[in-house]
């Protein structure tokens, strides 16, 4: 019931999804800093890879010298040299066939 009311309010007030929903908001500054809001949990962490659980699936960040600078219940600040950012298994979730090489 609450979700339906929330969705109706979003449509009427035209708020972007990241303001009222639980979708992750990712802000990248150059290749040195990433702020991620609305994550659920840190699934794995090393200096070369960080995996986060989000409402959109598992988010994988890879890089060199990755450091969790700030860890808050709904926000992370990550610093280091970012190489890539991707959602794991997103093609399967969307029903697309994935070709493995």
pLDDT of 21-46, one tens digit each?
A: 689 999 999 999 999 999 999 999 99
Higher-pLDDT residue of 76 and 18 is 76
Domains and CATH numbers, the chain: 23-87 (2.60.40.2000)
Question: What are the E-state strand segments in the chain?
Answer: 25-29, 33-37, 41-45, 49-54, 57-71, 75-88
For 6, the 3-state DSSP assignment is helix
Q: Taking residues 67-72, what's their average pLDDT?
A: 96
What is the reported pLDDT for 12? 60
- Beta partners for residue 29, in sequence order: 33
In angstroms, what CA-CA distances link 80 with 61, 75, 85, 95? 11, 17, 13, 33
- Model confidence at 100, pLDDT cuts 50, 70, 90, reads very low
Residue in the structure block whose two tokens are 């962490």? 45
Nearest CA to 72 among 39, 95, 49? 39
What is the reported pLDDT for 88? 85
């Amino acid at each position: 019931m609450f979700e339906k009311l929330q969705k109706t309010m979003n449509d009427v007030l035209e708020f972007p999804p990241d303001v009222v929903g639980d979708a992750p908001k990712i802000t990248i500054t150059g290749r040195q800093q990433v702020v991620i809001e609305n994550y659920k949990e840190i699934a794995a962490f090393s200096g070369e890879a960080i995996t986060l659980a989000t409402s959109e699936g598992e988010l994988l960040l890879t890089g060199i010298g990755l450091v969790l600078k700030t860890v808050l219940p709904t926000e992370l600040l990550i610093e280091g040299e970012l190489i890539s950012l991707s959602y794991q298994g997103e093609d399967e979730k969307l029903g697309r066939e994935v070709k493995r090489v």
